[in-house]
Amino acid sequence: MPEKHLENEHLMREKALQPPAGFLERHPSKPYLSSLDEYKKMYEESIRDPGSFFGGMAEEHLSWFKPFTVPKVPNAPLLKDNNGEPSAWFVDGELNACYNCVDRWAIKNPEKPAIIYEADEPDQGKIITYGELLKQVCKASQVLLNLGVKKGDTVAVYLPMIPEAIVTLMAIIRIGAIHSVVFAGFSSGSLRDRINDANSKVVITTDESKRGGKIIETKKIVDDALLACPQVTNVLVYKRTGNSHIPWTEGRDLWWHEAVNKYPSYYPATPVSAEDTLFLLYTSGSTGKPKGIQHSTAGYLLGALLTTKYVFDVHPEDILFTAGDVGWITGHSYVVYGPLLNGATTVVFEGTPAYPNYSRYWEIVDKYKVSQFYVAPTALRLLKRAGESYIEPYSLQSLRVLGSVGEPIAKDVWEWYNAHIGRGNAHICDTYWQTESGSHLITPLAGVTPTKPGSASLPFFGIDPAIIDPVSGKELEGNEVEGVLAIRSSWPSMARTIWRDYSRFLDTYLRPYHGYYFSGDGAARDKDGFYWILGRVDDVVNVSGHRLSTAEIEAALIEHSMVAESAVVGFPDELTGSAVAAFVSLKSRSIEDPSAIKKELVLTVRKEIGPFAAPKLILLVNDLPKTRSGKIMRRILRKILSGEEDQLGDTSTLSNPQVVSHLIEVVKAK
Ligand code: ATP
Ligand code: MG
């Protein structure tokens, strides 16, 4: 047998760390699972018989108006058997998503806090109980009905992180309508495209928003978008700041506070079928034009519920703080649905990690005794750069679980998170998943799965990952293999389609490797069966036949004490086919000898990985191009480097478009 060879082997030398003892000491009771063996047993069952595994889970955890019967088994869990049909789970059952998130807890304990709202200004905010939430939702539902919103209609939501964002989503799904949230940092053009693509007739927004001490003219952005959305009949406006000079169209626009007061505080939830659409959400657009991902009701709910429960080990008394925006899937699944479906308490944070200073997250954690904190590596890199003096004054003793999501988390950042935020007592969960997956795919389970810094570890229940050789298209069996990450069978919260474009759904996810769901990401499975996400397949750099992952070179660069962030791309090279270029932003902008630093960076990569991975070109830049969700857009760097800056493609999802001209200058001066 040929010796197995892992191109990115250096990443995987890490030894597995056992769950920290402090996790158990801080636990209010005990974790749901007692051991890794129990996880393995349940996992095997979920793969062997997904129908009965998830059927049992859905009966136990969701409230049904009409129970699903046979076949409990989904329509072809093995994707190779599904003949191009969408997957379907719990098909003849009926339920209501809002009832599952709100009513059942309001009935049981109306005084229990559902939402802790932390406003942009630290001393403003409020707590909303499940009982109060139910009343507000019922009133808002009736407003929507009165505006003509019917079951199956889409409603566009353009709201900042305020409790009314949750009230809005719940009000929409209570009447069987479909929400389409657009991140409130998007421009009017991007908002317009998403409203039109989803054919929304009602838009819900605020007069203005507040973020990081700044005022954003939200309603004005909506009005600009609506100049080209003829189908929109009404805009419901929540008064956030109360400034009087916002644009207003009589007959179309109405104030939230006036509208909701007209209705009684109870309105029953509408039963929908398990497979009816719950929401649409456009992806971040890291790789190109965003896709309107469509999720179904029961499957999505079950995925969000079970991952919140088992991955974050959320118990009813827990307080979750997901520092992500409701405009992204992380906000949907782990600010809104996951916590509420478990009857826990969720923190809705309106501000930024840097306002009024870099202590803000830690202040919130201590103030509310947060047990689970969940954030993206981009924010961690920012806070790491700001320094430990912002963390030291805080106890952070309530933290049991620290989650990471959105990009690979470099070992260096993982260790910083563990040491300075968890202080060695919290379980770090590097959760790998996507808008399309609805909930976590590969992730440690808190208190149960050993961790290796930089690895997302093991698959969640029902996720049957495969590593495929991108050249031959064949599955690579066994451990110590790397290639493209695919999934063999459908799982309940898998997206059903791209809105009104099933053939694009097939082309993007199901046709590239027949019989598998294609993730678009590269991954390796190490000797212990742990998964390492190596970055997007499009981003792989092929140097002299070595397929190098951007994630691993970036992880090596960030080991250097002066590096704040880095992004690696390939560029054509006569000798090696492709060569590595690294765009690096340093912690300090005033550098005495840039060429000495560049040499050190090259040495760091040679030492950490090997000479073949050493960057041929290092470009020191002030900032990197990022999506509005904070992810690095390497495609922009590739284009600029190859002199194709006139062909950048869709840049509407860039959060910092001004960086483009800076990058062009740096590249020209190289
Ligand atoms: P688009 O699909 O439009 O290019 P996007 O992929 O950035 O945008 P999301 O669905 O928000 O949109 O992001 C999912 C992707 O984020 C994954 O496919 C993966 O590339 C990356 N990702 C998420 N979590 C992790 C993680 N823990 N480790 C590594 N990569 C991650
Ligand atoms: Mg994607």
Residue-wise pLDDT tens digits, 85-130: 888 999 999 999 999 999 999 999 999 999 999 999 998 999 999 9
- Residue 3, pLDDT > 50, answer no
Closest-lying ligand 1 atom to the alpha carbon of residue 520? 18
Distance from C-alpha of 312 to C-alpha of 440, rounded to nearest angstrom: 11
What pLDDT, on the 0 to 100 scale, is given for residue 10? 66
Ligand with an atom nearest the CA of residue 627: 1
Q: Which among 533, 554, 626 is the best mutation to test ligand 1's pocket, defined by most ligand atoms within 8 Å of the CB?
A: 533
Distance from C-alpha of 240 to C-alpha of 162, rounded to nearest angstrom: 9
Which tokens in the block code for residue 658?
């001004």
- Residue 4, pLDDT > 60, answer no
Closest-lying ligand 1 atom to the alpha carbon of residue 536? 20
Report ipTM for this prediction: 0.99
Residue-wise pLDDT tens digits, 119-173: 999 989 999 999 999 999 999 999 999 999 999 999 999 999 999 999 999 999 9
Note whether 275 and 266 are within 8 A (CB).
no
Ligand with an atom nearest the CA of residue 406: 1
Residue whose CA lies nearest to ligand 1 atom number 24: 406
Long-range pairs for 496-505: beta carbons < 8 A, 24 or more residues apart: 496/86, 496/87, 496/275, 496/277, 496/294, 496/295, 496/296, 497/86, 497/294, 498/291, 498/292, 498/293, 498/294, 499/197, 499/198, 499/280, 499/292, 499/293, 499/294, 500/292, 501/292, 502/86, 504/291
CA angle 123, 126, 129 (to 5 degrees): 160
What pLDDT, on the 0 to 100 scale, is given for residue 543? 85
Q: How far does residue 286's CA lie from ligand 1's centre (Å)?
A: 8
Confidence of residue 1 (pLDDT cuts 50, 70, 90): very low
Ligand with an atom nearest the CA of residue 428: 1
Q: How far does residue 597's CA lie from ligand 1's centre (Å)?
A: 31
Which tokens in the block code for residue 149?
């919103």
Residue-wise pLDDT tens digits, 453-490: 999 999 999 999 999 999 899 999 999 999 999 999 99
Residue whose CA lies nearest to ligand 1 atom number 15: 434
Pocket of ligand 1 (CB under 6 A): 283-287, 290, 328-329, 405-408, 430-435, 456, 519-521, 533, 536, 629, 631
Which tokens in the block code for residue 203?
């838009």
Least confident of 238-247, 425-434, 570-579: 570-579
- Residue 299, pLDDT > 90, answer yes
Q: How far does residue 307's CA lie from ligand 1's centre (Å)?
A: 17
Q: How far does residue 433's CA lie from ligand 2's centre (Å)?
A: 9
What pLDDT, on the 0 to 100 scale, is given for residue 2? 37
Q: How far does residue 632's CA lie from ligand 2's centre (Å)?
A: 13
Q: Which helix (H) or strand (E) holds 216?
A: strand 214-216
Q: Which residues contact 483 (CB under 8 A, 6 or more apart)?
A: 467, 468, 469, 470, 476, 522, 523, 524
Q: How far does residue 521's CA lie from ligand 1's centre (Å)?
A: 8
Q: How far does residue 438's CA lie from ligand 2's centre (Å)?
A: 12
DSSP 243-308: -TT----TTTEEEHHHHHTTS-S--PPPPEETTSEEEEEE---SSSS--EEEEEHHHHHHHHHHHH
Ligand with an atom nearest the CA of residue 635: 1
Closest-lying ligand 1 atom to the alpha carbon of residue 551? 29
SS3 462: coil
HEC states along 77-140? CEHHHCCCCCCCCCCCCEECHHHHHHHHHHHHCCCCEEEEEECCCCCCEEEEEHHHHHHHHHHH
Q: How far does residue 283's CA lie from ligand 1's centre (Å)?
A: 9
Residue whose CA lies nearest to ligand 1 atom number 27: 432
Query: Average pLDDT of the chain?
Result: 94
Count the neighbouring beta carbons within 10 Å of the beta carbon of residue 113: 16
Residue whose CA lies nearest to ligand 1 atom number 14: 434
Residue-wise pLDDT tens digits, 606-630: 988 888 899 999 999 999 999 988 9
Q: Which among 283, 437, 455, 463 is the best mutation to test ligand 1's pocket, defined by most ligand atoms within 8 Å of the CB?
A: 283
Q: How far does residue 443's CA lie from ligand 1's centre (Å)?
A: 14
Count the neighbouring beta carbons within 10 Å of the beta carbon of residue 440: 32
- Residue 291, pLDDT > 60, answer yes
Looking from the CA of 395 toward its CB, the CA atoms found within 13 Å total 8
Closest-lying ligand 1 atom to the alpha carbon of residue 436? 10
Q: Which among 8, 435, 627, 635 is the best mutation to test ligand 1's pocket, defined by most ligand atoms within 8 Å of the CB?
A: 435
Higher pLDDT, 540 or 348: 348
